[in-house]
Amino acid sequence: MEETIDLREYFEIVKKHMGMIALITILAVTVSAAVSFFVLAPVYETSTTLMVNKAKEDTSRTVETQDIMLSRQLVTTYGEIAKSNVVLNSVIKELGLDMDSGLLSEKITITPVKETEIMKITVSDTSPKLASSIANTTAGIFMGEVSRIMKIDNVQIIDRAEVPKEPIKPNKLLNIAIAGVLGIMAGVFIAFLREYLDNTIKTPEDIEKHLDVQVVGMIPIFDQIEN
C-alpha cells in the first residue's frame, strides 16, 4: 500500500510541473533542430576498394594458400603505406589542398576487410566531390608507392570512389529525438529537485509528515461578504 501511495505522489509531482517539463523539452528540441539544420555542416563519405594479390609477373603460377595468407598480411602493411606522409603530401600537392598531412590523415580511414585480401580507403569530407577525389587520388598514389617501395605491382582497384549523394551525418531526426528524451529527463529531474528543496507546509498531510504531529482540526476560509 505504501508503494502505491509513493507512486501516486510521484505522478502528482510530474503532473504539477508538467508545464515546466514541456517547456524544457520544447526548448531542447528547438535548439537541437536549429543546430542540426543550420549549424552542423553535412559530412559525406565515400570509399575505394583495392585488392592485394600476387604480383602481375607471377600470373602464370597457380595461386596457393601461402599466397593468399601473405596477401592478407600485406594488407595491414599497405594500410600504413597508404597513410604515410609520402602518400598524403603527394595527394595534397596533386589536388592543391589547403591542409597539412595531419588534417588530411584525419579524413582518411584504411580498413582491411576481415579474412580477405581486400582493403578499403574511406574518406569523409564536407564536400562530396572532394571526398571522392581524395579517395581515388590516394588509391592511385598509394599503388605507385607500393611499386616503388616493394618493387612489385600487386595492388589492383576493384571499385573507384563515387561522389556520395547523401551525407552520413548529422542524423537530424536522431539528434532531435535524443534532445527530446534528454529534455524530458531534465524536466522531471528539476521537478523532483524543486519538490525536494521545497519545505513549506501547504496541506494537513505536510504537517503530519514534517512535524510528526496529528492535525485535530482546520480553520475554514470564508469569503468576505461585502455589505
* 118 and 176 assigned to the same domain: no
* 14 and 119 assigned to the same domain: no
> Rounded to an integer, what distance in angstroms lies between the CA atom of residue 35 and that of residue 178?
13
* 24 and 95 assigned to the same domain: no
Query: Across 23-77, where does the E strand assignment appear?
Result: 44-52
For 113, list phi and psi in degrees, rounded to 5.
Answer: -75, 120
**Domain assignment present for 219:** no
Number of structural domains found in the chain: 2
Q: Is 169 exposed, middle or buried (0-12, 13-18, 19+ CB in 10 A)?
A: middle
Between residues 58 and 29, the one the model is more confident about: 29
**Domain assignment present for 29:** yes
The model's pLDDT over 109-119, given as tens digits with 9 standing for 90+, comes to 999 887 788 89
Q: Which domain holds residue 143?
A: 44-159
> Among the three residues 99, 126, 159, which one is the final residue of a domain in this structure?
159
> Among the three residues 132, 159, 186, which one is the final residue of a domain in this structure?
159
* 91 and 18 assigned to the same domain: no
* 145 and 195 assigned to the same domain: no
* 54 and 142 assigned to the same domain: yes
Q: Please, which residues bridge with residue 121 across strands?
A: 48, 110
Mean pLDDT of the chain: 84
> Rounded to an integer, what distance in angstroms lies between the CA atom of residue 123 and that of residue 109?
6
The model's pLDDT over 99-158, given as tens digits with 9 standing for 90+, comes to 999 999 999 999 988 778 889 999 999 999 999 999 999 999 999 998 898 888 888 999
Diameter of the chain measured on Cα atoms = 118
**Domain assignment present for 204:** yes
* 196 and 119 assigned to the same domain: no
**Domain assignment present for 94:** yes
Between residues 221 and 24, the one the model is more confident about: 24
pTM listed for this prediction:
0.70
Predicted local distance difference test score (pLDDT) of residue 74? 75
**Domain assignment present for 149:** yes
**Cell (9 digits) for 169:** 551525418
> Rounded to an integer, what distance in angstroms lies between the CA atom of residue 46 and that of residue 110?
12
**Domain assignment present for 72:** yes
Q: How confident is the model at residue 72 (pLDDT cuts 50, 70, 90)?
A: low
**Domain assignment present for 95:** yes
